[in-house]
Chain A
Amino acid sequence: MSSRRARSRQSTSSSRITDEQINDLVSKLQAVLPEARLHGCLSMQVSAAKVLQETCNYIRSLHREVDDLSERLSELLATTEASSAQAAIIRSLLK
């Protein structure tokens, strides 16, 4: 802990991050988390620890989701013919 404090004294704080900026960031983070809809505007002052925990949980669940989607996509992209057809489809999704 003391080493961290020593480093902090050394570093130049030309752009000091205010508490307001941190509050803003924490609430933005809270807003993208799935439980945001449940809490609504009731909990104005959600603890940082709670937001950190929910963010960790959400990242883990998103990783699992992408893993599952990769598996399902690999089942579909089994053949070469399929792949080139899918390429045309992706192109149409871009329009």
Chain B
Amino acid sequence: MQATKSFERAFLRQLLRVFRLSAVSYKSMSLQERKSAIKLSADVAMASARGSRKWTRGLIAKLSEEDEHRSFLRLILGTEYERLTKPCHGSWKIPRSKKIVRRSLRVCSRRKNNLRAPHGFKSSVLARTLVEKRTHALKRLVPGGESLDGYSLLDEALDYVISLRAQADLMQKLLTTFEASKLSALSKCTLPERKASFVGK
């Protein structure tokens, strides 16, 4: 599964807007400040390009926790900011996590001998603990994941992973393009110098 072309276009378009708006302030920033600004811009662009999902709302909410970020977010997202930060109605908590534990148990018991008594009990406890532990870890990693359960968490995690992959790929593409253009710009600059040195000899 991959991110759509329209996501890629929307992401780049937003990033372009941000770079254009930030160009002046980038000059006076330190390297670390600029890095944080770019990371923030990339996250905002990603959330904006994806639209309304549990994780994009969670991400915008997390980014809005800092006052200075909030005005930046409002500037970039405009009316979309209000839409993405509006509280979602009714979080349907259907216990799908139980189904995932059951599925994991079935796999574990199928692998081992079907000796229910002591073996079965130990493996079921282990399976339940492992799935719970990892679910908790995943909840912390997926923005907005704390309020999600079982199926929803997996669904959002899948979408988030695909979007993150696309974000990294697009940033890499930008980096490569910028580096290439900078090299060509540099070579153009040094050309007249080279000519002068030849004339001198």
B167 close to A55 (CB less than 8 A): no
Chain B residue nearest in CB terms to A84: B23
Q: How many residues of A contact B (CB 8 A)?
A: 59
B108 close to A47 (CB less than 8 A): yes
Q: How far is the CB of A72 from chain B (nearest CB, A)?
A: 6
A52 close to B131 (CB less than 8 A): yes
Is the C-beta of B92 less than 8 angstroms from some C-beta in chain A?
yes
Q: How far is the CB of A18 from chain B (nearest CB, A)?
A: 9
The listed residue (A58, A67, A93) touching B161 by CB distance below 8 A is: A58
The listed residue (A60, A69, A75) touching B171 by CB distance below 8 A is: A69
Chain A residue nearest in CB terms to B34: A74
Q: How far is the CB of B26 from chain A (nearest CB, A)?
A: 6
- Where the two chains meet, the residues of B that have a C-beta atom closer than 8 Å to any C-beta of A are 1, 9, 12-13, 15-16, 19-20, 22-24, 26-27, 31, 34-39, 42, 92-96, 98-104, 107-108, 110, 127, 130-131, 134-135, 137-138, 141-142, 150-151, 154-155, 157-158, 160-162, 164-165, 167-168, 171-175, 177-179, 181-182, 185
Chain A residue nearest in CB terms to B33: A74
Kindly list chain A residues whose C-beta atoms are within 8 Å of the C-beta of B108.
Answer: 47
Name A's interface SS: helix
Kindly list chain B residues whose C-beta atoms are within 8 Å of the C-beta of A75.
Answer: 31
A19, B42: Cα distance in complex, Å: 36
Q: A7-B93, A62-B164, A90-B16 are in contact. Are A23 and B1 (CB under 8 A)?
A: no
27 contacts between A and B (CB under 8 A): A5-B95, A8-B98, A11-B95, A13-B94, A17-B150, A22-B154, A25-B158, A52-B131, A52-B135, A53-B134, A56-B138, A59-B141, A59-B161, A62-B164, A65-B168, A66-B42, A69-B171, A74-B38, A76-B175, A77-B178, A80-B24, A83-B20, A87-B16, A89-B177, A90-B19, A91-B16, A94-B9
Q: How far is the CB of A76 from chain B (nearest CB, A)?
A: 5
A26 close to B175 (CB less than 8 A): no
A3, B19: Cα distance in complex, Å: 48
B137 close to A56 (CB less than 8 A): yes
- Where the two chains meet, the residues of A that have a C-beta atom closer than 8 Å to any C-beta of B are 4-5, 7-8, 11, 13, 16-17, 19, 21-23, 25-26, 28-29, 31-33, 45-49, 52-53, 55-56, 58-60, 62-63, 65-67, 69-80, 82-87, 89-91, 93-94
